[in-house]
Amino acid sequence: MAPCQVEGCKLEVPAALADSALCVHHYLVWLDGNCAAMRRETAAGATAERHDQIADFLREQGERLSHVATGGHRLSDDMKSRVLNEFLSLINLRENLERAMDRSARLRPAP
Ligand SMILES: [Zn+2]
């Protein structure tokens, strides 16, 4: 199994993260940073195109995270709770995204 691509990290990359070459820890750090950035972004509003991109991101990472969680790679209790927290981040980001789309639909009068 290949090691994590982050310099100095010697943790294993689980099969579910093979394409990203990140260990579970660094994958969660990456995902959390992205979710936080997208939440800030959607707070300021989102275009329909960006909405679709973020929706795709949510779908892909939700699937990947569930593979990490149930794919047979052994996780410590601490890591399990971080995985669950990350699911919560994805759910909250989805809610923010829907709210942003509702807001922009109200602001833009129907043609
Ligand atoms: Zn790592």
- The rounded Å distance from CA 56 to ligand 1 centre is 25
Of 68, 70, 81, 69, nearest to 20 by C-alpha is 68
Distance from Cα 83 to the centre of ligand 1, integer Å = 15
Q: How many angstroms is it from 25 CA to the middle of ligand 1?
A: 6
Q: What pTM was estimated for this model as a whole? A: 0.89
Would you say 97 and 54 are in contact if contact means Cβ atoms under 8 Å apart? yes
Local confidence pLDDT in tens for the 111 residues of the chain: 678 999 999 999 999 999 999 999 999 999 999 999 999 999 887 788 999 999 999 999 999 999 999 998 899 999 999 999 999 999 999 999 999 888 888 876 666
Radius of gyration of the chain (CA): 16
